């Protein structure tokens, strides 16, 4: 008897099943939307503080620990290009301090001593690598001095190629990315950005160390 009753048990109509399925389907977006609204309200209640770049010109900035921000290393034949670069960097809002040998070297001092002091007293070194640079022994001296001061490529040594094929790039600098000078304005801007990035990282690491 129970088996016969089971066979004759009425099945739910297709209309009811469709209503039930539509009801269950419509309920899930509302629940997810409420979850989204609650999560968004929770997120909006948390204040977000913008991350600002450290002030490299502050009175307590480690930037002032050295006499110069940039030492421009160039051959005598590239003096005009070096002067243009220095004029650009010093004219920026940050007033980057540059060492230019013929302008800033102390009269009567030994050339080697003056170049070493300029390298040690600068945060970054821009190497204007041209055909004349590759032939100049004092430029080679400055390049090796930069590698001695900062053997790891941490943004301090900034090679800039002009009129030099990539195959002529000094082997000593192969682990350091260089700037290829095609348009002066663009290259000058890249040099400035690289120097500022290094100074900001220097200030940031100094602040983190104090904390």
For 112-149, how does the pLDDT look when each residue is reduced to its tens digit (9 = 90+)?
889 999 999 999 999 999 999 999 999 999 999 999 98
pLDDT surpassing 90 at residue 106: no
Domains of the chain, earliest start first: 62-205 (3.40.50.10140)
**Parallel, antiparallel, or unpaired: how do β-strands 98-99 and 179-180 relate?**
unpaired
Q: For residues 100 and 102, what is the distance between their CA atoms, to the nearest angstrom?
A: 6
For 166-193, how does the pLDDT look when each residue is reduced to its tens digit (9 = 90+)?
899 999 999 999 999 999 999 999 999 9
The pLDDT value given to residue 1 = 60
The pLDDT value given to residue 52 = 67
For 69-100, b/e burial (b = at least 16 CB within 10 A) is: bbbbbbbeebbebbbebbebbeeeeeebbbbb
Tokens of 194: 């690289």
């Amino acid at each position: 008897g129970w088996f016969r009753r089971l066979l004759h048990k009425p099945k739910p109509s297709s209309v009811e099943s469709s209503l039930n399925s539509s009801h269950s389907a419509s309920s899930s977006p509302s629940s997810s939307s409420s979850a989204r609204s609650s999560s968004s309200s929770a997120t909006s209640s948390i204040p977000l503080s913008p991350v600002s770049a450290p002030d490299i010109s502050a009175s307590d900035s480690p930037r002032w620990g050295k006499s110069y921000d940039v030492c421009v290393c160039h051959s005598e034949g590239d003096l005009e290009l070096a002067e243009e670069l220095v004029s650009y960097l010093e004219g920026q809002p940050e007033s980057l301090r540059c060492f230019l040998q013929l302008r800033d070297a102390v009269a009567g001092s030994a050339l080697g001593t003056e170049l070493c002091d300029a390298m040690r007293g600068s945060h970054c070194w821009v190497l204007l690598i041209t055909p004349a640079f590759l032939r100049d022994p004092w430029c080679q001296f400055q390049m090796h001095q930069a590698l001695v001061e900062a053997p790891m490529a941490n943004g301090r040594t900034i090679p800039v190629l002009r009129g030099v094929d990539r195959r002529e790039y000094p082997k000593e600098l192969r682990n350091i990315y260089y700037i290829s000078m095609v348009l002066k304005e663009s290259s000058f801007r890249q040099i400035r950005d690289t120097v500022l990035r290094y100074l900001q990282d220097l200030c940031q690491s100094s602040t983190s160390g104090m904390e």
